[in-house]
Structure 1
Amino acid sequence: MLRLTSFIHIFRRSMSSSTVNAGLYRNAPVQNVKAVHDFRSDTVTKPTAEMLNVMMTADVGDDVFDEDPTINALQDRIADMAGHEAALFCPTATMTNQIAVRTHLTAPPYTVLCDHRAHIFNYEAAGISFHCGAGLVPVQPAPGQTHLTASVIEKHLVLDDDVHHAPTRVVCLENTLHGMIVPLENIKEITALAHKHDLKTHLDGARIWNACVATGISLKEYCSHFDSISMCFSKGLGAPVGSVLVGSKPFIKKAKHFRKMYGGGWRQAGILAAAGLYALDHHLPLLTTDHQNAQYLAQTLLDLNLGFSLLHPVETNMVWLNAPVPADILAEVLAKEGIRVFGGSGTEMRLVFHHQITREAVDKFVRVLKQFFEK
């Protein structure tokens, strides 16, 4: 218990410090102002005192030996919620995505289909190609369409045995995407097409919780159409670390093998799983407020006629804006008032809401911009 208490003490100290990661996005301006309100991402949340207390008192064991009771409890709970046989707790959603695709792929050559905006294509350091030796085929929606459809996917499937080709083996979807919810009907049609051709399906459900809350569609319904699903706890749910992969028992057994190979075989990580369990009980119900605050900010800015326009519909916890001036300028203005946003030389801005962004923070955000444009 002494060693665990020391860890939590160090963890508390690290969470209370404010550091600026200038390298996270190349165009983000460096600020020396301590942030009070952080709109950069829902990954920036800090554990609450209640969550830290749950972590401190968690029952732990060696997870490589399947002996951490808190991790086992989280895995069992998520598998049940998702309607799948088993689950595997990992450090990150990138790892659960990478492990899932690697586990599905057997004998090369092969390719993986995904949306051209997908995280696995743009933000996982070409991991699919590196870890799996697989080609990644990014697909664009049909003209005038926001999301992928089965008819578009079908045109990109490689199903023959021509020696010049690398057959399609996995179809990956992502829900939500840019804060927008992929319609369940699209999911049903695409996964049905894939399964018709004996292809595996994977869902990057980093923010699937937001989709469930916004639509009222259960996690089990969404997950029933996929062979594997990755669900993140360190985004909207506000846990410090963790993602869970679900699938069949044989799939998860093999996935655990790859998790170990990738260096993800952790030991007494129940302190982190405890945060995930706490988040399910206490932070998941707060997502509705995040969505409401996002819609409130978007509508308020539009009503003020300051020159902002929406790049995407506000369906969950993200607001994508086209600003009247470069984002770098607004990032500097907001930072002086303790508000963090990503900058950039362009005018595109992404604002992400989480349980530590209050309505008062939104009002302050709007007030600062209104004062700036009225000068």
Structure 2
Amino acid sequence: MAANIDAARAQVIEQAKVDIFSQVQAEDNAKQAHAIGRAFISDTITAPTKEMYEYAVRASLGDDVYDEPCTKILEAHMAKLTGKEAAMFVPSGTMSNQLALRTHLKQPPYSVLCDHRAHIARYEAGGTAFHSGAQLDYATPANGHHLTLDDIKEHVVLGSDVHSCPTAIIELENTLNGTIIPQADVIAISDFAHAHDIKMHLDGARIWHVAAETATPIKELCDPFDSVSLCFSKGLGAPIGSCLVGTKEFITRARWFRKLFGGGMRQTGFMAASAAYALTHHFPLLPAVHARTRRLENGLKELGVRITSGAETCMVFYDPSPIGVSYAELITRAKTLPDPIHIAGSRLVVHIQTTDAVVDDFLALVKQLAQEKRDAGFDPSAQCAQAKTVGKSSIYVKVSQADLDKVQREAPART
């Protein structure tokens, strides 16, 4: 009987074994790292460097639901850096934003007022309604760039009219689509909000870019807000994690919700160490990222491409139609180059691992396509005469797979 049990147990154990590495994992990783340097789809795709990994594996081995030394040190540093009382490490920026909103919101009816392009409005799967039962009210910047106090006053809901859903939180995002909100406007909105007992939350996923570009201390950028979410895995290039900061009372309650949301993690020391490495070694790289982005923008302008939102930090939004090129065509040609380039639509994102070579290669491709269109009879001057002005409130245009499939079916064979 014991022999039968031992044999059965051995079989169960054998079935559970798995090796997730390929036969040439090191080569695969090298190829992926090269591909990351040639992708403009997002700054979330950056990969940890060898040096980051070497730093991370030395981290403490605690359990963050109970006590994790390195994570606690990171949280204390983030609280000090932002000028807040406390901080909490979480897996993602989406969770950080949703925890902040849920923690602030106590008893409905309540609403959250934000820019119509905000991440919480468009890219968090309706989380505010699901988690907090809150209505989202949207404001469109009259200046086409960023929300001002006038925009807020036009959309904020005050008073006790039983037909209304009063504004409980004003949420801003900095950067938003790579653009910077002037700090004077942030302060004006904050003063108005607090005068009406409205909380202020900042989605500061890319606040590092604002600090790097304007030389403004992180604390100064965070001072007008009751809570701030800061991401380590976007511009800074850590593999995972964001921090939510606020008062001690706020963070204590947010930890409760983090557990409820399923966000309580265990051995987070290596994650915290990766974030710490990114803060120390990658934050200084952002000015060069911005310079590379401006070079990309200027190159596109020189080729006749319309810029719909310029390179204030790490993003450029563009429209290639003035040179007769569609997004789908450009995406297809880019990925069929001998050394492919990965793009996804109207947004080009430059990150710390973007190479100078890919900027040159992308501009060369756009130039080649523009020439092909002219050779085929396209008249850019006629197109420019018909073009409509596009403001900086442009929304990211993603190209569907159906469009790509159509282009691939209709495109002639290319060598």
- For this structure pair, what is the TM-score category when the shorter chain's length is used for normalisation? 0.7 to 0.9
CA–CA separation in structure 2 for the residues paired with 1:118 and 1:13 = 38
CA–CA separation in structure 1 for the residues paired with 2:288 and 2:61 = 33
Q: CA deviation at 1:136?
A: 0.5
CA–CA separation in structure 2 for the residues paired with 1:209 and 1:36 = 20
Instruction: Report if aligned partners of 1:234, 1:243 keep a CA contact under 8 Å in 2.
Output: yes
State the TM-score, normalizing by the size of structure 2.
Answer: 0.80
Deviations 1:28-83 (A, max 9, x none): xxxxx966511110001111111111122211201001x11111111111111100
Counterpart position of 1:176: 175
Taking only aligned residues, the RMSD between alpha carbons, in angstroms, comes to 2.0
Counterpart position of 1:162: 161
1:126–1:18 CA distance, 2 compared to 1 (3 A): farther
Q: What is the DSSP-based 3-state SS (H/G/I as helix, E as strand, rest coil) of the residue aligned with 1:340? A: coil
CA–CA separation in structure 2 for the residues paired with 1:91 and 1:127 = 16
Q: CA deviation at 1:16?
A: 2.3
Counterpart position of 1:99: 99
Q: What is the DSSP-based 3-state SS (H/G/I as helix, E as strand, rest coil) of the residue aligned with 2:147? A: coil
Counterpart position of 2:343: 341
Counterpart position of 2:298: 299
CA–CA separation in structure 1 for the residues paired with 2:255 and 2:25 = 32
Q: Does 1:359 align with 2:356?
A: yes
CA–CA separation in structure 1 for the residues paired with 2:280 and 2:94 = 24
Counterpart position of 2:212: 213
Counterpart position of 1:63: 64
Q: CA deviation at 1:374?
A: 2.7
Q: CA deviation at 1:162?
A: 2.2
Counterpart position of 2:239: 240
Q: What is the DSSP-based 3-state SS (H/G/I as helix, E as strand, rest coil) of the residue aligned with 1:374? A: helix
1:13–1:72 CA distance, 2 compared to 1 (3 A): farther
Instruction: Report if aligned partners of 1:75, 1:89 keep a CA contact under 8 Å in 2.
Output: yes
Matches within 5 A, 1:274-285: 274-285=273-284
- The amino acid that maps onto 2:79 is A
Deviations 1:218-248 (A, max 9, x none): 1100101000000011100001110000000
CA–CA separation in structure 1 for the residues paired with 2:21 and 2:232 = 21
CA–CA separation in structure 2 for the residues paired with 1:194 and 1:371 = 51
Q: What is the DSSP-based 3-state SS (H/G/I as helix, E as strand, rest coil) of the residue aligned with 2:169? A: strand
Deviations 1:94-132 (A, max 9, x none): 000000000000011111100011000011011001100
Q: Does 1:112 align with 2:125?
A: no
CA–CA separation in structure 1 for the residues paired with 2:298 and 2:158 = 46
Counterpart position of 1:331: 331
Counterpart position of 1:137: 137
Counterpart position of 1:227: 226
Counterpart position of 1:6: none
**Which structure has the larger Rg over C-alpha atoms?**
2
Instruction: Report if aligned partners of 1:293, 1:359 keep a CA contact under 8 Å in 2.
Output: yes
Q: Does 1:372 align with 2:374?
A: no
- The amino acid that maps onto 1:364 is D
Counterpart position of 1:189: 188
Counterpart position of 2:314: 317
CA–CA separation in structure 2 for the residues paired with 1:169 and 1:133 = 12
Matches within 5 A, 1:9-158: 16=29, 37-65=38-66, 67-142=67-142, 144-158=143-157
CA–CA separation in structure 1 for the residues paired with 2:172 and 2:358 = 33
Name the % identity: 46
1:10–1:261 CA distance, 2 compared to 1 (3 A): farther
Q: What is the DSSP-based 3-state SS (H/G/I as helix, E as strand, rest coil) of the residue aligned with 2:170? A: strand
- Any gaps of 5 or more consecutive residues in structure 2? 1-19, 373-415
Counterpart position of 2:387: none
Instruction: Report if aligned partners of 1:35, 1:335 keep a CA contact under 8 Å in 2.
Output: no
Deviations 1:258-300 (A, max 9, x none): 0000000001011111110000011000000110000001101
State the TM-score, normalizing by the size of structure 1.
Answer: 0.88
CA–CA separation in structure 1 for the residues paired with 2:21 and 2:241 = 19
Q: CA deviation at 1:363?
A: 1.2
- Any gaps of 5 or more consecutive residues in structure 1? 1-8, 20-32, 344-348
Higher relative contact order (CA 8 A, sep 6+): 1
1:366–1:198 CA distance, 2 compared to 1 (3 A): same
- The amino acid that maps onto 1:16 is N
1:282–1:163 CA distance, 2 compared to 1 (3 A): same
Instruction: Report if aligned partners of 1:35, 1:339 keep a CA contact under 8 Å in 2.
Output: no
CA–CA separation in structure 2 for the residues paired with 1:103 and 1:275 = 27
Instruction: Report if aligned partners of 2:233, 2:242 keep a CA contact under 8 Å in 1.
Output: yes
- Count of residues in Structure 1 that have an aligned counterpart in Structure 2: 345
Deviations 1:190-235 (A, max 9, x none): 0110000011100000100001111111110010100000001110
CA–CA separation in structure 2 for the residues paired with 1:229 and 1:169 = 16
Report which stretch shifted further, 159-168 or 252-261. 159-168
- The amino acid that maps onto 1:110 is Y
- The amino acid that maps onto 2:137 is V
CA–CA separation in structure 1 for the residues paired with 2:277 and 2:192 = 37
1:36–1:172 CA distance, 2 compared to 1 (3 A): closer
CA–CA separation in structure 2 for the residues paired with 1:60 and 1:322 = 49
Instruction: Report if aligned partners of 2:37, 2:353 keep a CA contact under 8 Å in 1.
Output: no
- The amino acid that maps onto 2:123 is Y
Segments of 4+ in structure 1 off by > 6 A?
9-12
